């Protein structure tokens, strides 16, 4: 918030958020596979309609991640003020967000357990690292689930896939470069002065 976006801690939080977002996606897909024996579901088809629609999805999911992260932060704060114990507020918010997501799950048992674990992980990241990690995690998870991912450029939905992967890779490279301070480390590793 102070404008130091190239701070190594900011880059670390971006990397943690991206990693967490991919892990969230994998765990929810594993729960889907366990519950139904198939991966994925049917999503909206309009993001597959080319480059500009993929950009629209990216901007939309980024703004949703910011809104969700800020909402969780405010809810955690309000519950802490209400119950006067941070760990009780944390547990209540895990249960509330887990139950909210369980309501939209196709399998209430497996989906419910998966969503409770994901909610606990996101809120634990918010509690431990601050706001940027959950925002990055939600953005990465939403981008991976909303845009189809493929390495086959001959597919008709490849432009949308390339846009999503390019954003995630660019954020990961920025996070790795800045958090490890590779500008100063790389010349030493290569033996340059």
Look up the domain containing 171 and give its range.
48-180
Structural domain contains residue 128: yes
Structural domain contains residue 31: no
Structural domain contains residue 116: yes
Distances (CA, A) of 34 to 2, 110, 116, 135, 142: 44, 8, 16, 27, 21
Structural domain contains residue 77: yes
pLDDT in 10s for each residue of the chain, 193 residues = 566 667 788 888 999 999 999 999 888 888 878 877 766 555 555 555 666 777 787 888 889 999 999 999 999 999 999 999 989 999 999 988 888 877 777 777 787 888 888 889 999 999 899 899 999 999 999 888 877 777 888 877 777 778 888 889 999 988 888 877 666 666 665 666 5
Structural domain contains residue 71: yes
Please count the other Cβ atoms lying within 10 Å of the Cβ belonging to residue 87.
10
Domains of the chain: total: 1
Whole-angstrom Cα distance, residue 50 to residue 46? 9
Which has the closest alpha carbon to 119: 108, 129, 111, 130? Answer: 111
Structural domain contains residue 115: yes
Structural domain contains residue 21: no
Structural domain contains residue 16: no
């Amino acid at each position: 918030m102070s404008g130091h976006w190239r701070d190594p801690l900011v880059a670390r939080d971006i990397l943690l958020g991206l990693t967490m977002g991919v892990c969230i996606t994998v765990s929810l897909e594993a729960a889907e596979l366990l519950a139904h024996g198939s991966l994925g579901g049917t999503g909206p088809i309009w993001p597959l309609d080319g480059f500009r629609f993929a950009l629209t999805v990216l901007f939309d999911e980024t703004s949703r991640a910011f809104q969700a992260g800020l909402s969780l932060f405010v809810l955690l704060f309000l519950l802490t003020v209400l119950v006067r114990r941070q760990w009780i507020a944390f547990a209540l918010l895990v249960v509330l967000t887990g139950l909210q997501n369980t309501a939209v799950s196709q399998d209430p048992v497996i989906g419910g357990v998966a969503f409770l674990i994901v909610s606990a992980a996101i809120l634990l990241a918010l509690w431990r690292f601050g706001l940027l990690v959950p925002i990055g995690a939600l953005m990465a998870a939403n981008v991976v689930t909303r845009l189809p991912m493929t390495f086959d450029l001959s597919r008709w939905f490849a432009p949308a896939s390339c846009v999503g992967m390019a954003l995630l890779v660019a954020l990961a490279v920025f996070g790795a470069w800045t958090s490890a301070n590779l500008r100063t480390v790389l010349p030493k590793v290569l033996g340059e002065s």
